[in-house]
Structure 1
């Protein structure tokens, strides 16, 4: 099933539920409507979809919770709308400003279609042009934020175009011989990086795991005949490259040099334990809260983890304590972890779950 959320199909469902609530309020219905709506749906569709009958209480609790939360937001949004309508009429204008429509959308979740309908009832139109511009500016700010975190991606992109992608060896090896295909020192492509300089190295092959899926990147050392780089972070780069961020701690490094890349084994092992813990925690949460409780984000780091998941209400303290007890008991069993590669289709038959927002190839691990 699908639960209301802020992304993908969950967001579509949330918009549908909010539109239903909005319609009810505009018709003058102030009492909760989801209970009766769900009851009618189950009555009409329950025979064809018996899972609706089996999970009726659960569906009602999710829908009613969504209505209750949006109800408060709707009232606050309507207050702002009424204030903006009054301002427009005081000025003798028949246009609701694009700024007001954007704020209603961004802060209170009012779709512009709803705002236009409400405005029309007041004899106003919405400044769609300004609204569209503000939405585009917001999207651009998001893109710019991603670019700021690109770690000299433009320069590395040039290196990738010339040298090709980085081969990853880290599942089998924590140390590997490689060639330095590119050096970026203090944000610019360089022919040499000297002791004390912040540096990005690109190798033709690497045992360093690049940050992904919530798991932090590896740290370690890269040694060349002329210098040593202490790697503090590893991230995916453009063109299939791997970015090794760090500082030159001795000598100097140059493109074209042979190198020995060595991952901090203790740190990797600690991160792997956190990774396994995340899977066990996810399984335990779904077991106690229901199949809808899916991972929505995580941080997997040495010695610690953060696990985000979707649920329609705050999890009671006693349930959280039960999750902790069960997960810790599973971890204490210290069962062996067996990793293997297979097709996506077979992995799903074995209970593997694809997480929304993650990209997978035909072969998965």
Structure 2
């Protein structure tokens, strides 16, 4: 691709020049950077919007908690799968973008005025936050957390820093982007044939890389692509009872004694408790619902159990009541979750006792777990021991 090191740097570079290589080639030009930047911008936009959707569903602000949509039932499965896929696709795009602009990342003097200072600041923050955001996201997909801070809070904050830096960068570079947005920039001469071919080759290579990493990982969400699910950390069809498991009963420290002595406690105006046999005597309902994890994998299953709204009616709960769900787990996050009225009163929301025709295994939440439509997997609480009506 005519990526050449300057002849002046073939030997030991002068001390005043530093040790960084200098690239001279037509592919390190505004037109190439603009084309790749458009693709990267689209991936970042999709990833950001779907990330906001995920955050709102997990931590709904204020009164919105009781009005979250439960339809379509596959909504979170689609949005979170798109979030992870667009984030993975952004990795080769960001690397290619950095390659095209590399010669201009290290210039002297470093600042040549207010506009240039703003540009340099936006680039520094954008590159740092973008690399860190994607790095943390990839480790989260693999469920590896070698850091002491909360991934979700840092990931959420970094997303806003990255978008803010991107908007500032676009504002500063708007004239240059506009001049090179179209296939032929006005007032510029035709590129030599070798350079034009090299640019097409570069863009085709980047496109192929994006397509490849997407196809071999998106199968963890997209059923048609499952035969090609080669690099995704989770395969939706692998796991006990036909479903993957993120946290086992042993990891959650759910003891055999706690399960053996289990009774479901339901609070409210008319509180009561049920043993597992008593719960099994209540009207049972079977629903086909997906379970979608924030790490990107999802799978559908047949769930059988008691409708949550039937349990609430028995407790005399008001129609607009919110719930607090308490798990037997003693380790890990989301041992206590809340459920808004829109989910609690939905006829598809179950306290599930069986999955795919079999009693829940210990790792899938025996004796009972929550399953609800269009709800993040981390909130589909396992090993449910208590349902509290909040007034």
Indicate the TM-score class for this superposition, using the shorter chain for normalisation: under 0.3
Q: TM-score, normalised by structure 1?
A: 0.22
Q: TM-score, normalised by structure 2?
A: 0.21
Name the structure, 1 or 2, with higher relative contact order (CA <8 Å, separation 6+).
Answer: 2
